[in-house]
């Protein structure tokens, strides 16, 4: 059966339901298809099954609706509890986080002060070496800073080497003492 014929049939049945028996043996009003019995005005078993399935899909029974509402409320309460738990855990961490933030802020300020003092020291040294105030962006100043950094690296290397030598000497001395004691 095509879509248009189904639509016509359904339309015919609906109109026949509205006014049964008004046109005699043909309550639909067409000469071509007379309605033989009043039962033909009602849906067939297949159509009735479709209507029932549609109705249960769009209008579920009360028990199903209550179960759905209960499940939805349970899900919402679980989400709320999980969020409250997360907030409580974060609030417990809050004092430590604030202390860390303050410490980092202090360290940053201290580093800035140290850098500023180092820069002032370098500018004073440059004034002393050259006899006049030097712009910190000038090539002379940058060369002097590079030279000073090289000297500091050499000093650090020497200090490390001396510490290693002392440690190895102490280690060798302790080995000899152990051998002698045996």
Q: pTM surpassing 0.75? A: no
| Residue in this structure with the two tokens 């370098």, named with its chain if needed | 122
Residue 75 lies in a domain: yes
**Domains contained in the chain, number:** 2
Do 104 and 136 share a domain, yes or no?
yes
Task: Report pLDDT for 142.
Answer: 86
CA pair distance 114, 112, nearest whole angstrom: 5
Average pLDDT for 79-89? 97
pLDDT at 20: 54
Which structural domain range is residue 116 located in? Answer: 64-150
pLDDT classification of 21: cutoffs 50, 70, 90: low
Residues 81 and 139 in one domain: yes
28, 15 in Cβ contact below 8 A?
Answer: yes
Answer for the pair 145, 122: CB distance below 8 angstroms, yes or no.
Answer: yes
Q: Does the pLDDT of residue 73 top 90, yes or no? A: yes
Across residues 86-110, what is the average pLDDT? 96
Q: CA–CA separation, 39 vs 76, rounded Å? A: 50
| Residue range 150-159, pLDDT digits in tens | 998 999 999 9
């Amino acid at each position: 059966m095509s879509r248009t014929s189904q639509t016509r049939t359904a339309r015919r049945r609906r109109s026949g339901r509205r006014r049964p028996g008004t046109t005699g043996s043909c309550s639909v009003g067409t000469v071509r298809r007379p309605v033989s019995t009043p039962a033909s005005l009602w849906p067939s078993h297949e159509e009735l099954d479709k209507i029932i399935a549609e109705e249960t899909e769009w209008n579920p029974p009360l028990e199903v609706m209550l179960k759905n509402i209960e499940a939805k409320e349970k899900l919402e309460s679980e989400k709320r509890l999980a969020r409250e738990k997360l907030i409580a855990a974060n609030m417990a961490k809050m004092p430590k986080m604030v202390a860390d933030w303050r410490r980092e802020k202090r360290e940053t300020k201290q580093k800035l002060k140290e850098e500023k003092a180092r820069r002032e020291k370098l500018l004073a040294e440059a004034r002393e070496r050259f006899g006049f105030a030097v712009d910190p962006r000038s090539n002379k100043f940058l060369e002097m800073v590079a030279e000073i950094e090289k000297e500091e690296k050499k000093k650090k290397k020497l200090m490390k080497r001396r510490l290693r030598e002392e440690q190895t000497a102490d280690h060798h001395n302790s080995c000899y003492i152990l051998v002698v004691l045996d």
